[in-house]
Amino acid sequence: MDALRKRWSAANSLVCVGLDPEPAKFPAHLRSTPDAVFEFNRAIIDATADLVCCFKPQIAHFAALRAEDALERLIAHIHAAHPGIPVILDAKRGDIGSTAANYVIEAFDRYGADAVTVNPYLGRDSVQPFLDRADKGVIVLCRTSNPGAGDLQDLPVDGRPLYQHVAEKVAREWNSHGNCALVVGATWPTQLREVRGIVGALPFLVPGVGAQGGDVEQMVGHAKTGDGTGLMISSSRAILYAGQGEDFAAAARAATLSLRDAINRCR
Ligand SMILES: O=c1ccn([C@@H]2O[C@H](COP(=O)(O)O)[C@@H](O)[C@H]2O)c(=O)[nH]1
């Protein structure tokens, strides 16, 4: 959280670049190279690092390609070449405590991530091994960006939707080390405002701008904290695949700059 606050201020940016490699969308000159997943993502990272508050690799995009080794090397590269930029491993983990303890080792010791996304559905004991790592961030799914988010997350419990209970529990009970944040989708401005009202200045990871169509102005207006921060606004496809040619990294940089500036005009 300290590193995140420093980046908000040093980079003057709330942008999180998501790393979701899809080789079919890579530029042609890279597609056939042996280490294409690493080379593509490294070029994106190096072209955008000064413009972001954090990076967010999505683990399934690497695992599906048998590219976990590339993910390890990319996170190591971020720490070595761009020190101080937090890396969120988007893995949405959630399981019984003994298995969760291994997910903790995977995220923080194997991959070297600074934070990980977790699913709260199994309850406090499933998240506790993550919470116990006081030096690491735990980002809990609250109101996700996808169209079916409300199927379960909106179910009424004691007269209020379930996601509001998640927000309250995380802010009041699970955050004793000050290392928690919430995932709230940019596609749900009303819910962003409600959750911000419940949790004070707790940071939000906000996916859903760019390819999913979330409105930047509405989202920032509803979700920012009093000092105009509090957000890691994540965009993956709209940045990664902004260009298809040899200049793809420059195109990604231009898309990141444009998102950063659009956000900053609303803060
Ligand atoms: O509620 C959620 C939680 C996570 N995600 C992840 O964020 C990115 C979004 O990619 P875009 O290309 O910017 O749409 C992706 O990795 C998702 O798994 C989310 O979209 N919504």
Domain count, the chain: 1
Q: Which amino acid is at 40?
A: F
Exactly one of 25, 92, 169, 224 is catalytic; name it. 92
The domain of 218 spans 2-265
Question: Ligand 1: which residue has its CA nearest to atom 10?
Answer: 236
What's the CA gap between 223 and 245, in Å, rounded? Answer: 35
Instruction: Label residue 32 by pLDDT band (50, 70, 90).
Output: confident
Please indicate, yes or no, whether the overall pTM of this predicted structure exceeds 0.95: yes
Q: What's the confidence (pLDDT) of residue 229? A: 98
What's the CA gap between 211 and 213, in Å, rounded? Answer: 6
Residue 147 CB contacts under 8 Å (≥ 6 apart), including other chains: none
Cα distance between the two ends of the chain: 20
* Token pair belonging to 187: 């596609």
Tens-digit pLDDT profile for residues 196-245: 999 999 999 999 999 999 999 999 999 999 999 999 999 999 999 999 99
pLDDT at 10 > cutoff 90: yes
Neighbours of 91 (CB within 10 A): 20
Q: What's the confidence (pLDDT) of residue 266? A: 96
What's the CA gap between 10 and 50, in Å, rounded? Answer: 9
ipTM higher than threshold 0.90: yes
Which atom, in ligand 1's list, is nearest to the CA of 144? Answer: 1
The answer to whether 169 is a known catalytic residue is no
Evaluate: CB of 22 within 6 angstroms of ligand 1.
no
Question: Ligand 1: which residue has its CA nearest to atom 7?
Answer: 207
Q: What's the confidence (pLDDT) of residue 43? A: 98
Evaluate: CB of 191 within 6 angstroms of ligand 1.
no
Rounded distance from Cα 187 to ligand 1 centre (Å): 11
Which atom, in ligand 1's list, is nearest to the CA of 212? Answer: 14
Q: What's the confidence (pLDDT) of residue 98? A: 98
Mean per-residue pLDDT of the chain: 98
**C-alpha 204, offset from chain centre:** 9
Residue pair 232/206 in contact (Cβ under 8 Å)? The answer is yes
DSSP state of 107: I
Tens-digit pLDDT profile for residues 112-133: 999 999 999 999 999 999 999 9
Q: What's the confidence (pLDDT) of residue 256? A: 98
Tens-digit pLDDT profile for residues 146-184: 999 999 999 999 999 999 999 999 999 999 999 999 999
Evaluate: CB of 187 within 6 angstroms of ligand 1.
no
Give the CATH number of the domain where residue 148 resides. Answer: 3.20.20.70
Evaluate: CB of 119 within 6 angstroms of ligand 1.
no
Q: What's the confidence (pLDDT) of residue 1? A: 95
Mutation test of ligand 1: which of 52, 56, 90, 206 has the most ligand atoms closer than 8 Å to its C-beta?
Answer: 90
Q: What's the confidence (pLDDT) of residue 78? A: 99
Angle between helices 216-223 and 248-264 (to 10 degrees): 50
Q: What's the confidence (pLDDT) of residue 147? A: 98
